[in-house]
Amino acid sequence: MPACCFAATRSWISHRPSSELVTRQRLVARMELSLTRPDDWHLHLREGELLQAVVPHSAKHFGRAIVMPNLKPPITTTAAAVAYRQSILKALPPDSAFEPLMTLYLTDNTSPEEIKLARRSGMVFAVKLYPAGATTNSQDGVTDIFGKCLPVLEEMAKHSMPLLVHGEVTDPNVDIFDREKVFIETILAPLLKKLPHLKVVMEHITTMDAVNFIETCSEGSVAATVTPQHLLLNRNSLFQGGLQPHNYCLPVLKREIHRQAIVRAVTSGSNRYFLGTDSAPHERRKKECSCGCAGIYNSPVALSLYAKVFEQAGALDKLEAFTSFNGPDFYGLPRNTSKIKLRKSTWKVPESYSYAAGEIVPMFAGETLEWSLFDD
């Protein structure tokens, strides 16, 4: 039996001409997917008014989410993570069952004792590695992982606490399109040789190099989250029809051969890959300016886009494992028990979402998508 449940209905009247029958079938054909409620294993919720504006979109679609800690100041302690969790819960719609899973921001000064506190809290589930200067609000990140962070990583390995890796080097002499490949070669591979029991999630992978590396690692030790944008867009999408700031994210979109490699990996049925949107909202003016922020806001459209990718690959029967099973299995958490339905039904993405401080432009703003969340 396939992982997800298909319900397709077709109606026709046999005495009608064949051409009319085909038209009739197309008009009334309906496909629904019943999925165990997915989780988002890489999500930016920000804070303040922006948090209040975006958290309902994630809560509508997902049961849980691994929440990124790169605020200002970053979430570097268990106490700060617990306080941030409370602010997220307060921003949720009434009766929402959405559960934020908190993370710590790794720095050169993070201590093994903080990892013990995090594990005992029952609210912190991972630690995020940002190489200093690699992306938004990463200036406080790690400068020397081998010289300053090994005791912390050893403690994490003892507790099976995953290290979530933004896998890019920050050396200005390395081409931006090669930074993931070089990170794997010079940092990640040597790190895993030193600490083979450390669990690692390679976040938002973008290259064939990442896929090839993951496939060489022992199962259950290294996995990857994959975003809608890196499955559907290549680097041409940054420049088609002029500069497209709302398609700019980090890691940056790559060549088509890399996109195809990631699609093949994700739709293969491998349990090493799972859903992580890296949804990263910015107010429109911070995207459409002389120095635009990196980040794509995709929470409202993510499930529609993942379904599109799997449908195009002829792999809809593998969608549920990617969205709902592989992530909790890797983290050692129970799978969700509730269900959602996706229906093959067109809908138009809003041009923007307004909130008190301005507006947020979602991925594929103004475009028509073919899969929609269906509420009974």
Span 320-332, pLDDT tens digits: 999 999 999 999 9
Read off the pLDDT band of 28 (50, 70, 90): very low
- For 161, the token pair is 């606490």
Q: What is the number of residues in the chain?
A: 376
Beta bridge partners of 371: 344
pLDDT of residue 97: 97
Q: What is the pLDDT of residues 50-84, one digit of tens each?
A: 999 999 999 999 999 999 999 999 999 999 999 99
Average of per-residue pLDDT across 85-110:
97
**Which string of DSSP letters, residue by residue, matches 171-188?**
-TTS-GGGHHHHHIIIII
pLDDT of residue 137: 87
User: Does residue 227 register a pLDDT over 50?
Assistant: yes
Average of per-residue pLDDT across 217-240:
97
User: Does residue 149 register a pLDDT over 80?
Assistant: yes
Share above pLDDT 70 across residues of the chain, in percent, rounded to a whole number: 91
pLDDT of residue 372: 97
Rounded to whole angstroms, the Cα distance separating 22 from 20 reads: 5
Average of per-residue pLDDT across 332-341:
97
Residues 6+ apart with CB under 8 A from 342: 32, 33, 35, 303, 304, 307, 371, 372, 373, 374
Most confident range (mean pLDDT) of 14-18, 30-34, 114-118 is 114-118
Query: What residues are labeled active site?
Result: 42, 44, 128, 166, 204, 278
pLDDT of residue 20: 54
Read off the pLDDT band of 27 (50, 70, 90): very low
Average of per-residue pLDDT across 230-234:
98
Are 262 and 205 a contacting pair, CB within 8 Å? yes
Average of per-residue pLDDT across 151-161:
98
Tracing tokens 């449908």 back to the chain, one arrives at 311
- Backbone φ/ψ region at 335: left (φ over 0), alpha (ψ -120 to 50), beta: beta
Model-level pTM?
0.92
CATH 3.20.20.140 applies to domain 37-337: yes
Over the chain, what is the mean pLDDT?
93
Tracing tokens 């002389």 back to the chain, one arrives at 290
pLDDT of residue 369: 98
Rounded to whole angstroms, the Cα distance separating 206 from 228 reads: 11
